Amino acid sequence: MKSLKYCFHPSIISRIPSCILSANRRYLATDQNASAKTETNNTTEAQAEIGPSAPELQVNNLTGDHQHVFEIALNRAERRNALGKQLLSQLDATLDSIKDNNAIRCVLFRSMVPNVFCAGADLKERLTMPQEEVGPFVSKIKEIFSKIFGLSVPTIVALDGLALGGGLELALACDIRIAAHTAKLGLTETKLGIIPGAGGTQRLPRLIGVAKAKELIYTGRILDGQQAYEFRLVNEVVKQNAQSDAAYQRSLEIAREIAQQGPLAVRMAKQAINKGSEVDLQTGLDVEEGCYDTVLTSEDRIEGLKAFQEKRKPIYKGV
């Protein structure tokens, strides 16, 4: 099976919304030669171009067993995927382009750079910024990560390496985090005399509890994958493999499971959990009821019942 790879350059960012994931207008797509690829569970992964001239963000609309999974890959090797202006601009445009695409049932974040997910802010670039630009720039990062959190479909992040500062804050904005045992994770901002400014002080306590979050943020401590699992920072820790992509491979398995479920039901479940967890129990139960009402009148619910009765796999449409 083939996978379409889109490589985003600054000159084409303005064109992304009109062509991304379009079956008829593949301006940014290039079919890869199947003989030059490695097949893994019927998902075809193209070899990444890595180096100063490579695109900083690459996306794949996966096919085969992983149909309906959309992959976003960081690819800024020379800066260890540091969050610079160009990378963030491309990520922002990508999120805006896919947010209403009902063909997507799961979004998977990964890195094309071995042993690195994201080293955090691009401090070299930050040093060149006028003081008056720094605050708005950090606010923009927070806004982009909030877009990730606000996606209607489940999001998974594969942590096969370093994820520090803003890199971990990006991961915290995702629904599910899978880490290799060799990963290094931490909110290290206090070591630089600042605090996490892209959601870390808010999302980490909600995930692992206030006391543990304070401990990690106050100390700027870096955890390995197993320690992160023990802190409940990640959903699962896996033993790293020779290809340094064990977390990615496990993330693909989970994404495939999600994509096979009723897409409308999954979206409503995410909405019920996210909204309900921020309010009191009774209000949360009301949120759940509203989300249930949405699926109750859906075509997918009828299809699910028919498939169960006929002992076949359901064919969901997400409506």
Q: Which residues carry out catalysis?
A: 121, 166, 169, 189
Token digits of residue 315: 């064919």
DSSP per residue, 172-184: HTSSEEEEETT-E
Q: Which pair of structure tokens corresponds to residue 54?
A: 């490579």
Q: Which two tokens stand for residue 230?
A: 């023990």
CA neighbours closer than 13 Å in the CB half-sphere of residue 286: 6
- Using CA atoms, how far residue 19 sits from 12, 14, 24, 97, 200, in Å, is 10, 10, 9, 9, 33
Q: Is the dihedral of CA 275, 165, 240, 209 positive or negative?
A: negative
Pairing, β 162-164 against β 4-7: unpaired
Determine whether 129 is exposed, middle or buried from the number of CB atoms within 10 Å of its CB (0-12, 13-18, 19+): middle
Q: Strand runs (DSSP E) across the chain, as ranges?
A: 4-7, 29-30, 38-40, 43-45, 57-61, 69-74, 106-111, 116-118, 155-159, 162-164, 176-180, 184-186, 223-224, 236-238
Residue with tokens 């985090």: 177
The Cα 138–Cα 240 span in angstroms is 33
Measured in whole angstroms, the distance separating CA 312 from the mean position of its chain's CA atoms is 31
Task: Give the pair of three-digit tokens for residue 200.
Answer: 């870390």
